[in-house]
Amino acid sequence: MTFWILWKESLRYIFRSRLPLLLLVFSFFLHYVGVSAFKESNWYSNGIISVMGPREGMFVSIYLTLFMGVFLAAIYGVWMVPYFHQGERSLMTFVLPVSKWWYPLVYSLSFLLLILLEYFILFGTFTWVFGKSALLQPRFSWGAVTACLCLVFLVVHFLLYFFSAFSLLLGHMTTLFLAAGSFIALQVAGALFRLGLDHKAYQVYRWMPPLGELIFSLKNTFSQGIIPYSQFVSWTLWTVIGILFFRWLIRHPR
């Protein structure tokens, strides 16, 4: 009973903030414009004109979904999750006889609904641009697409708790700038180390969340159908660490 009350309050706060409506409008616009523009473009390579089809369109849609997932994790994690654990409202969190483990579960399920809405928009705009028949073409593996979307969810799920925990520790704006800087730095580092750059910093990079490998993993999974099991294991472990760290932080009011 306690779980359902907490989840109801969480969903009420999400809908009251108009986040689903913001996601629906912004994500639809981003996907529709991005995929439509990509469909109309042609690529020239060695004098050969390549027309962008449904396979390439789905690949672009997955990257746009990753961007929207990070955007959602930032909004929900930096500003909305800490709302129940800071200020005067936090007293209710720590006075009521509620297990602190319910909170990560509630936030994860609420966030899952938002991500599923984003996936619905992905397939809706893809079908609108390329037609229903494009979904039945055997040019791309649905197993690979599913693996990519599952990996995206794991990544943004970890980022949700990363944003939430550091927002409780450092504040909203500091967390936002720290997260943006870290995301860019890890992406650049991943690209540099893939080029064979041997540096002592690689030993530190190995112990960081594998954000720098994410783009390459999605590309290999989609194009070659290679399931990145090591990435799934790594991101699952990082998500568990994020949840445990967040649970540790909400032991006392802030």
Banded pLDDT at 43 (limits 50, 70, 90) = low
2 pLDDT exceeds 80? no
Residue 122: burial class (beta carbons within 10 Å; 0-12, 13-18, 19+): buried
**What would the pLDDT profile of 168-195 be if each residue is shown by its tens digit?**
888 888 887 887 777 777 777 666 666 6
More confident residue, 135 or 230: 230
- DSSP code for 139: T
In this structure, are residues 153 and 236 in contact, taking their beta carbons and an 8 Å threshold?
no
- Average pLDDT of the residues in 29-33: 88
Return d(Cα 56, Cα 215) in angstroms, integer: 15
Return d(Cα 170, Cα 174) in angstroms, integer: 6
Kindly state the percentage of the chain with pLDDT values over 70.
Answer: 81
Mean of the per-residue pLDDT values for the chain?
A: 81
In this structure, are residues 2 and 102 in contact, taking their beta carbons and an 8 Å threshold?
yes
